[in-house]
Every structure is written in C-alpha cells, then in structure tokens.
Structure 1
Amino acid sequence: MIKEVIGVGETELDALNDAKRQLGLSDTDEVEFELIQRAEKKKFGLFGGAPAKVKVTLKATPEDKAEEFLRNVLDKMNLQSVVIEKKLIEGGVEFDLSGEDVGFVIGRRGETLDSLQYLTSLVANHADSGYFKVTINTGNYREKREKTLEILGRKLAFKAVKTGRKTNLEPMNPYERRIIHTAVQKVNGAISWSEGENANRHVVIGPDPKAKNNFRKGGYNKGRGGRRPYNSSRSYNNSAPANPDRKPLNEGDGTGLYGRIDK
C-alpha cells in the first residue's frame, strides 16, 4: 500500500506542508518529495503566476501491510465484526483480535490463528531485507495454550520416568514444540526430541537413557509371580537419542512459524 498526494501552496515549503497534512503528518516530519512545479510570482502583481506543487510518496510500513492484509482476510471470512487492535513492539507488531466471532479465527487448537499469523508475517516481510516479527493473539489465548502445553509436557515427562516408556505427541508448530521441550528439561530422568517432517513433525517424550533407572522401585513384583521389572536386564528405550546436556533435540536453528521467515 503506497500513499501518494500532491500538495499545493504559495511557496515550495507551503506545498510540502500541505502534502504532509494530507497524509496525517506534522510539519516537522521528514519525508521524501518531488517538486512538480515551482511557485511563480505574478507579473506586476496582476498577471500570470502559479502556486508551487509538491508530490510526496509515503511507502507502507511492514505493520501497515500486515494490518491491511489481516483486515482483508477477516473480511473475506465474513468476520467484519472482529476488531483489530495494534501495538508496536521492538522489531515487530502485535495484533489483538476481539469480538463475538473471534472463535472462528482461533480454530482447532489454534491452527487457524497460527496459519493467519504465518501468512500475515510473510506479507509484512515480503519486500524488506530485515525481519519484522508479527504476532496475532486474541485475548490471552496464547498464554492459556502455553500453560496447557507446559503442564502436558511435565505430566508426560514424569510418566516416562515412572514407566520407562516413550509417548508420541500430536504434530505441533516449532513454537509449541519448544514449549514442550522446555517443560521436559525441568524433569530429571526424562528427555524429549522431535520426529517427522513438515506438518507431521511432533515431539516424543521418553526416559533419559543416561539417567539412573529409578522406575518400578522395590525389586521384583511378587504379586505378579516374581517377574522382573520392565527392561531391567538392559538399558530401556534404546531407540531414544542420547542427550547428555538435556537440550531440546532436532529443532534446527529456532526458526519456524514464530521465527524468521526467509524469502
């Protein structure tokens, strides 16, 4: 979106200030302009003469492009009632959506919201060499989702320590996978890693093969005829990748849905 106006005035400065006012800028704002016509004084104060004309072109900022795209998409979804509130942050912009129909924007487990954020970020970063971060939220949905994932990650991590078995989670975007990994790191004896490609990439949580086998304590289970504990004769979950530093595995360089998008 490019705004272009022509200012008119008795002098070049008056014409420039007229163009700025049309764009909603103050007289002190600096802009690039093109002088279309110089002011000409009337001869003998009676004949001829012409005002000065200046053209000012104001290129759309990344947040302007993002907001315009977001509004157009919502209108196409027949969600004209959804209100967009914009807040500029360091290196980016945050959009907060509100309204009765905002549930349609969230979608199943936030998938629609994530897709909308991804596409809006692509538009904002289309013609700029730098990276402009775009976040779309509605109320405190993302905060609630993050808390839910943290609880899930810790719960499954404790389960892995207790049972010695791994659990495959549903596919998630890179941001949500990192939340799970961070939660699992806080549980001694459990690790997490990612498997799958593209939309099927998901987190796996399992027991740490480097940790001491501390599940099913108490030796043989006499109530089951003295059978040996699960995998007691060997290291359990041999398929799990070693992770001595207990760092999230296979997550690349941290880019993805909420990171930089390379063109």
Structure 2
Amino acid sequence: MDYIEVSGKSLENAISEACKQLSVTADHLEYEIVDLGTSGFLGFNSKPTIIKAKVKEAKAATLDVQKDEEVVSEVSSDSLTSGETVSVIDADDLKKKVNDFLNDVFGAMKMDVTITVDYDEKDSCVNVDLEGDEMGILIGKRGQTLDSLQYLISLIVNKGKAGYIRVKVDTENYRARRQKTLENLARNLSFKVKRTKRPVSLEPMNPYERRIIHSALQNDRYVTTHSEGEEPFRRVVITLKK
C-alpha cells in the first residue's frame, strides 16, 4: 500500500489523523516523520508536523502459542526471535523529565504552579495536571497554550523511544469542559442545518477537537460531517444526508 502524507499540530495529532484516514488503530500504523515542525513559542509561529503513513503489513507469527497460556513475570531470552527487543519504560524517569521541564518553564514565567504527573502504563500515556491561580494564561485561546505545552512535553518523553507515548495536559478540568462545549455546539449547528437545509462550516480546529464534533453527530439520522482544508485551517463541515 502506498504512503499517504498527513499533517497535524503535533506528532500525536498527525498519527491520530492518519489512523482516521486509513481506518486503523495506531498499533496497525506504519509511519515516517517527514518534518517534526516547530511549536514556536506557546503556539506562535508554529509549523505542523508532517508524516508519511500506511497500514502496517501483517507479519507471520514467529512464536508458538501454547493452548494453555501461563502468566509469567519474566520473559526468557529463548522465547524472543532473533533481533527482537523489549522496550521498558522508566516511569520515574519520564515523570522527572516532565517535572523538570515544566518547572523551568513556569520559573521563567514567574508562575506558581502545582504539577502532578502520572504514567498510565496500560495506555502508554503521560497525564499532566496543573493547578494554580493563573490557569487562564496557561489555557490560552481555545486551549492553544495548553496544546503547545502538551506538544513540547510529547517531544521530550518520546525522544529516543521505540514506541510512542501519548501525553495529556489538563488544568481545571478544561479538556472535559471543552468537550462538552463542542458537543453542544455540534448539536445546535446540526439543528440549524436541518432547519435551513444548508451546510454549516465550523471554525478551524485541531484534529482532537474535530474528532469530538464528528463523534457527537456520527449517529445523527439526518446530518453527516466531514473535514475540509489543510492544517492549521482544517475545519468540520456539517451537511444534510442525501
């Protein structure tokens, strides 16, 4: 299968968009980084990340699977195929890197912020929660500053790693509140489309927010959604089903 070229505000966004376009999950995606882009300073003068992606080709199994599997705490080297490696994530090291970076950032900004960092091994995700008196500054317009911090942290934790580690940065439950706002917006605009029988274009959004709009209306019997344009001006369009 040929590669497709996909862009996003961050590597995570680009991978998510590629998964959506190819209708696969991340573990079935093969990609190459064309341009990591730049985040600018807190979202200004940023350039999108660009990747080439395709569906990963299925490989024949190289290990025998026993009928009655046993759960073991260690994997012997004899059970690995030649050249196979096991990637071990040092959660404490990850959390220290994130804490050190954010302390430097907030120190330079002269902001007093309480930082909580957790690593979810099951989802391979670093969760960062920020608390303080000036969180509106960190959120920025439509979460752009928060997204910029998330992008920078993603670069730090994924440097030199074989697998991809997701990063989520939140403060004052902003992500959940923003999701609820977007879901309400999607439903309100769908009513407008049904009433006027004319398509409606939303403002440009990042891939994460566009997915919220798509998901909110995916089961609507009368309207459908699709995305138009190029990053960072890509937007969702709501239209009547034919």
TM normalised by structure 1 equals 0.54
Corresponding position of 1:150: 183
Q: Do the aligned residues in 1 keep the contact of 2:91 with 2:119 (CA within 8 Å)? A: no
Distance in 1 (CA, whole Å) between partners of 2:219 and 2:194 is: 12
2:196 is the counterpart of 1:163? yes
Corresponding position of 1:110: 143
Q: Deviations over 1:196-233 (max 9, x none)?
A: 11111111111112xxxxxxxxxxxxxxxxxxxxxxxx
Q: Do the aligned residues in 2 keep the contact of 1:63 with 1:92 (CA within 8 Å)? A: no
Distance in 2 (CA, whole Å) between partners of 1:176 and 1:154 is: 14
Aligned match of 1:137 in 170, 179, 183?
170
Corresponding position of 1:74: 106
Distance in 2 (CA, whole Å) between partners of 1:95 and 1:111 is: 16
What SS does the corresponding residue of 2:162 show, helix, strand or coil? coil
Q: CA deviation at 1:157?
A: 1.4
Distance in 2 (CA, whole Å) between partners of 1:171 and 1:88 is: 31
Letter in 2 for 1:154: R
**Which 10-residue stretch deviates more, 157-166 or 59-68?**
59-68
TM normalised by structure 2 equals 0.59
Which 4+ stretches in 1 moved above 6 angstroms? none
Corresponding position of 1:202: 235
Letter in 2 for 1:199: P
Fraction of identical pairs, as percent: 46
Distance in 2 (CA, whole Å) between partners of 1:151 and 1:116 is: 27
Letter in 1 for 2:219: K
Greater Rg, structure 1 or structure 2?
1
Listed as ranges, the gaps of 5+ residues in structure 2 are 1-89
Q: What pairs up with 1:1-263 in 2 under 5 angstroms? A: 61-79=93-111, 81-90=112-121, 91-209=124-242
Distance in 2 (CA, whole Å) between partners of 1:60 and 1:95 is: 14
Q: Do the aligned residues in 2 keep the contact of 1:166 with 1:205 (CA within 8 Å)? A: yes
Listed as ranges, the gaps of 5+ residues in structure 1 are 1-57, 210-263
Letter in 1 for 2:114: V
Across the aligned residues of Structure 1 and Structure 2, the Cα RMSD in angstroms comes to 1.8
Q: Do the aligned residues in 2 keep the contact of 1:158 with 1:190 (CA within 8 Å)? A: no
Q: Whose helix fraction is larger, Structure 1's or Structure 2's?
A: 2
The count of residues paired between Structure 1 and Structure 2 equals 151
Q: Do the aligned residues in 1 keep the contact of 2:228 with 2:235 (CA within 8 Å)? A: yes
Letter in 2 for 1:70: L
Distance in 2 (CA, whole Å) between partners of 1:71 and 1:187 is: 45
Q: CA deviation at 1:59?
A: 11
